[in-house]
Amino acid sequence: MASTSIAILGTGTYSPEKVLSNDELSLSVDTSDEWIVTRTGIRERRIAAGTETTADMAASAAADAIANAGISASDIDLVILATLTPDLPMPATACLVQQKLGIPEKAACFDLNAACTGFLYALDTAWAMLESGRYRHALVVGAEKLSTMLDWNDRATCVLFGDAAGAVVMGASRNSHSGILGSRLATIPLSPDLLWVPGGGSSPATPEEPRVIRMKGKEVFKVAVRAMEDIAREILEQHQVTADQIACVIPHQANLRIIEAISHYLKLPMDRFFVNVDRYGNTSSASIPLALHEAHQEGRIRPGDLVLLVAFGAGLTYGGALVRW
């Protein structure tokens, strides 16, 4: 197994106050609680206030993670923030978080976009940078204000997503067992229009190509299941771990049926999978750190446990990481 010297030292989250239930959504879109719950497992999602930005949510989650790690903002020398909804094209949202929290100027700060796999891309990057010995404490954040990137008339997408942030602090392990054991990132070069935001970048948004999420749900569903199953198997084999040795799987929270399909193919019962998609919907890069924090808070992850993180997203990016808690 790889070195266990870099570990997750603390976790934190933030979710906006406003809860939007399926029933409330059904008042404005042609959908129903029954349809959404049956097809996705989602019951409600959080929606950020108009003035609340991705950086605000990220900073709250990050402050929580820093406190949870028992360090202070002045100890952070690397901030990697995964998002597809940055506050601004520049500066990076990571720089705004640095300012909000008083993280010192010696810190390297940048954003990264790998869509819903963003947090695992950031975790892998932070792991490598910390292992180089040139950084001591990394703040790794996934934060999204997806409510600004939804077509609220498109029932096929608007019911699926929500706003939130999650964060971890990484640094040298404080004991002999805990640490990141492995990480694997990948991308299947499929047609972008499977899952994309057609306009609003260097191609400006137009009525035909708006700045909203569009998706071919059925196709994405199949690829997502295959990708997450493949990456989970690869990581387990590489580290000579059997599925039943995993105490807790933290999958990207996009759809309960996708998680159930992975449970089925890996022959690992659903009680080993942490699920909170019912309360938040898909929060993209915030999904894994949010679930990881809640799993830890609920006692689903204990010292010494093996934890498997798996995600997929637009690109079609996917990835996995194996952590000894």
- CB closer to ligand COA, 39 vs 272: 39
* Residue 109 designated active-site: no
Give min distance, CB of 105 to ligand COA, in A.
35
Using CA atoms in the order 43, 48, 50, 53, what is the torsion angle rounded to 10 degrees? -150
- CB closer to ligand COA, 68 vs 282: 282
* Residue 255 designated active-site: no
- CB closer to ligand COA, 3 vs 28: 28
Give min distance, CB of 117 to ligand COA, in A.
8
User: How many Cβ atoms sit within 10 Å of the Cβ of residue 163?
Assistant: 29
CA-to-CA separations, 119 to 43, 81, 287, in angstroms, rounded: 24, 8, 8
* Residue 116 designated active-site: yes
The Cα 154–Cα 21 span in angstroms is: 17
Give min distance, CB of 48 to ligand COA, in A.
19
Signed CA dihedral, 125, 126, 131, 132: sign only: positive
Catalytic position from the list 22, 95, 109, 252: 252
Catalytic position from the list 22, 68, 255, 282: 282
Indicate the residue whose CB is closest to ligand COA.
217
Give min distance, CB of 85 to ligand COA, in A.
14
Q: What are the tokens at 155?
A: 């029932």
Give me the residues that bind ligand COA (CB under 6 A), please.
Answer: 31, 35-36, 39-40, 116, 155-156, 159, 195, 215, 217-218, 220-221, 224, 254-255, 258, 282, 313
Please report how many Cα atoms fall inside a 13 Å half-sphere around the Cα of residue 298, on the Cβ side.
11
266: preceding bond cis by omega (within 30 degrees): no
Which residues have a catalytic role annotated?
116, 252, 282
